[in-house]
Structure 1
């Protein structure tokens, strides 16, 4: 099947590479000429484990190509995926200007024959109808243009995006059109049947995904509600962690005991610095905004955002509690990306802490295995070090802000030997207290 993917950011690039790998002929379209030129020769602008190799492999087989102009790709495609960004506005509402621009540009090139337009971007509830109207306007009075709009939300996790695409838990397809459903079934058949003619780059052993067919509006709500629930679960355990600190309990033990209940499960019960990234804050805020538009209250969603914001402030308060005056102190951050195995620093808790420490007059040093260049663009005052030992040298305190395995597994005796102080704040509850104690360091965790 010929497929056009409009938008070669994180979601679009992963989607394009994975669809090409299962045998489709995919063209990724993006307005950024420099990005397209780099992608054409297999150079990526983001880090995601295994993605560069997958892109390069499919470029060599001619199943994957990239262009700036959508005309030919749209005209030949059976399915067109919209994968552009929907960043939050100050109000919390999603900014859909990129979606509108992409749809209008694409709609002008629709020709005779039937096409399915797939909303992969996380868009406000009701967007399927809105996109259909935009396409009809852009297509104008052309004869023979036939299309349907499908809501097909993505559920990718950065750091495991290829596995999440090829071995998803579920595939949600929202449409009222039998013709569109048939196209989507054929498109996703290799993933549903777990057959990969060109090999499986990341065997996951998850089995066949659940295939869910629903209406477009429900599919749009499923995406928002899923992310909002996961964010709420994290904020909930972080609030419990604060209670644990007050009463002398260990939140890691509490989380373990809770997670043994199959109704709760252990996932997303890791207390610490809270969530970040491009999705959770945006989607929780957008869902709350939509709810208010329809006269609904959002007390739980509002609390989810407030608790998460407070976790970042708690780390600074812990530093103040141990070091008193922070002005003039050197604080080292281990990790800058919002989670391990990505260079994404959008809404990164580590950068929020860095900004606050700089406001308080601290010297902030840091090391991250992948995200230093990205982080330096947002917070240039951070002093980057080539390795964690260099970052820890002369530090009054170290904060583990991102639980990269190589940072968790450091020899903390060596870290202690170069520090000026003895304080380590484990904002991810990932370090072994016994090892830190043996290194002569004082460990302060979250909820324990």
Structure 2
């Protein structure tokens, strides 16, 4: 198939590369000429394992990038993957997506009288937004609107494993109003799903996007419940991980998402839960459980800082922050738990030195005045305390690097350099005043 992908962020770039790898001819469309140039050179503007390899393999062959919408009218399917940022009240801003949808419609105004086209919304939008984007496409298309169907195909990609998630999905959801559109999507995904028994869920477009929101809201709530239980365990001196290992044996609970810690971040869970809360309130419903999930998550970084306060006054002291990305495997710092941790340290007048394997440059834009180390060992060198915020594998193997930390005077009541671990990635060892967040 000939496929156009409008928008080249995390979702759009992954989608374009993976569809090209599945054998489709793909045109990536983006307004940013620098992003377009990078894609045509086989490079991603984001850090995502496996993505550069696909881009370098298919750029100039099955995959090309452009700032023009000319390819749309000659293609079979157009995906809209424009970002939908949050408004201050948590609702989503459809401005950029609506503009791209209308421009896509304008490109499709030249459809032949006997031609049909499928526009697929892959951006994350609430159910009322489907009608808004459909209207924008049809408004741009004019008299060709009756030959354009707008469907939804929500994404369930995890940053850090997006390529693998696309290739081996747990499910694929098609939100369509016709058998024709569903068949076209099934044909598009056939080379991806061939030989697999992946469930395909067919629903109307609005139900399909609600599946995405409910999916993420459930996982976010599970994380917050586990963190809340972990906080309770900590008050009794009980290791929450031992408790969670046991309850995970229950088939009704499962072992997934039971690692308590400093909370969730990223571009999906916080944004999607906030959008669903705002949409529910617009309908007159108060989503109390979702509100509680957000409250618990927002409180975890402060609990981490309070544990630090229990050991030492960090005013004027060098404090290492290990991990800046919201999760390992990505350079994305959006809603990273490192942000409130660093803000809290600065409010305590600490001297912050931070390290992350890949997210330093993104963090530098947010915190230009703190120090950034070139290694975890460099961050620990001379630090009186360290806070572990992201569970990068390399943090589990620091060992002797902690010997370069400094202990404050015994009058401060500290038995050694302080390590507050928010991800259970560092091993307890002699010579450290070690605290796990929920263990």
- When normalised by structure 1's length, the TM-score is 0.93
Match of 1:86 in 2: 84
Q: Is the 8 A contact 2:42 2:58 kept in 1?
A: no
Is the aligned partner of 1:330 residue 2:328?
A: no
Q: For residue 174 of structure 1, what is the aligned residue in structure 2?
A: 175
Q: How does 1:7-406 map to 2 (within 5 A)?
A: 7-60=7-60, 62-71=61-70, 73-110=71-108, 111-112=111-112, 113-142=115-144, 146-194=147-195, 207-323=196-312, 325-406=313-394
Q: 4+ residue stretches of structure 1 with deviation over 6 A?
A: none
Task: Give the secondary structure class of the aligned counterpart of 1:126.
Answer: helix
What's the CA shift for 1:192?
2.1
Separation in 2 of the partners of 1:446 and 1:361? 22
> 5+ residue gaps in structure 2?
409-416
1:83-127 CA deviation, whole Å, 9 max, x = no partner?
010111101101111110110111101022211111101012133
- Do the aligned partners of 2:381 and 2:401 also contact (CA within 8 Å) in 1? no
Q: Deviations over 1:247-271 (max 9, x none)?
A: 1211001110111111111111110
| Structure-1 separation of matches of 2:177 and 2:39 | 36
d(CA) in 2 for partners of 1:171 and 1:77?
22
SS of the aligned residue for 1:141 comes to helix
CA contact (8 A) 1:256 1:266 kept: yes
Separation in 2, partners of 1:209, 1:159: 21
* Paired residue secondary structure (1:109): helix
- How many Å separate the matches in 2 of 1:419 and 1:167? 47
Per mean C-alpha deviation after superposition, the further-off stretch among 124-133 and 32-41 is 124-133
Q: What is the CA distance between 1:145 and its match in structure 2?
A: 5.8
Give the whole-Å Cα distance in 2 for the aligned partners of 1:76 and 1:31. Answer: 20
Shift of 1:128: 2.6
Determine helix, strand or coil for the equivalent of 2:147. Answer: strand
CA deviation profile, 1:384-429 (whole Å, cap 9, x unmatched): 0111111111111011111100112222x23223444511111112
Q: How big is each residue's C-alpha offset from its partner over 1:192-250, in whole Å with a ceiling of 9 and x where there is no partner?
A: 214xxxxxxxxxxxx43111111111111100010001000000011001110111211
Asked if 1 retains the 8 angstrom alpha-carbon contact of 2:157 and 2:165, the reply is: yes
Which secondary structure state, in structure 2, belongs to the residue aligned with residue 108 of structure 1? helix
* 1:443 maps to 2:430: no
What CA distance in whole angstroms lies between the structure 1 residues aligned with 2:65 and 2:333? 26
SS of 2:78's partner is strand
> How large is the Cα RMSD of the aligned pairs?
1.3
C-alpha distance in 2, partners of 1:172/1:213? 6
Contact 1:28 1:65 in 2 (8 A): yes
**Which consecutive residues of structure 1, in runs of 5 or more, have no partner in the other structure?**
195-206
Q: Deviation digits for residues 13-66 of structure 1, max 9, x if unmatched?
A: 000000000000000000111111122112221101110011110115x10000
Q: TM-score, normalised by structure 2?
A: 0.95
Structure 2 CA distance for aligned equivalents of residues 431 and 85 of structure 1: 36
